[in-house]
Amino acid sequence: MEIVPKLLIVGFGKVAQGIAMALNKNVEVIGIKRNILDSKSHFNVINADIFEDDLDNILKNTNPDYVLYSIAADEQTPESYQNAYVNGLRNTLKAATIARGAAGVLPCSPRRPAGRPVQTARPGCRAARACAPAALP
């Protein structure tokens, strides 16, 4: 029986879903998403807010080999950026340390000019390649 690595993606938006599609043949993907609007996902998606829900227990229960942090800021303000890219990553690193199962936390963020929407990441696109963990098969 082949052991398949497990990847937990924190922030399961369009970029993260593109990464998941690119990796799903070799990796079991689980996503964490604050607002699940479409229940027709090909992946196991956990409805949770990393600032309000118990991220420590989520990581313990999912027991991932890797964690990909792919959160987007809610607004284009310094406070929102601080919350998403600093405080949220800090919460995720703390939870991964407590769970002690994950080999590492890989931060990923789409690069875009302020005010421009993030385009959908397709398998093989620049965003998916830039964020896909090299250590995964």
Residue 37 is predicted with a pLDDT of 67
Which residue type occupies 113? Answer: P
Q: What is the pLDDT of residues 84-119, one digit of tens each?
A: 999 999 989 888 887 765 555 666 655 444 444 433
What CATH number does residue 63 fall under? 3.40.50.720
In a domain, 22, yes or no: yes
Backbone angles phi, psi at 90, to 5 degrees: -60, -45
In a domain, 115, yes or no: yes
Q: Are 10 and 92 in contact (CB under 8 A)?
A: yes
Q: For residues 120 and 133, what is the distance between their CA atoms, to the nearest angstrom?
A: 19
* Helical ranges in 1-137 per DSSP H: 14-23, 55-62, 78-81, 88-99, 126-131
Q: For residues 58 and 95, what is the distance between their CA atoms, to the nearest angstrom?
A: 9
Q: What is the pLDDT of residues 28-38, one digit of tens each?
A: 999 999 887 66
Q: Is the pLDDT confidence value at 16 over 50?
A: yes
In a domain, 72, yes or no: yes
For range 53-80, the mean pLDDT: 90
More confident residue, 96 or 22: 22
Residue 35 is predicted with a pLDDT of 84
Of the candidates 90, 126, 136, 127, the residue with the CA atom closest to the CA atom of residue 108: 127
For range 6-27, the mean pLDDT: 92
Q: For residues 29 and 115, what is the distance between their CA atoms, to the nearest angstrom?
A: 30
Q: Is residue 86 classed as helix, strand or coil in its secondary structure?
A: helix
Residue 102 is predicted with a pLDDT of 54
Q: What is the pLDDT of residues 2-11, one digit of tens each?
A: 788 999 999 9
pTM: 0.73
Residue 54 is predicted with a pLDDT of 86
In a domain, 136, yes or no: no
In a domain, 87, yes or no: yes
Instruction: Work out how many domains the chain is built from and give that number.
Output: 1
In a domain, 1, yes or no: no
Domain that holds residue 94: 6-131
Q: Residue 41 has what DSSP assignment?
A: -
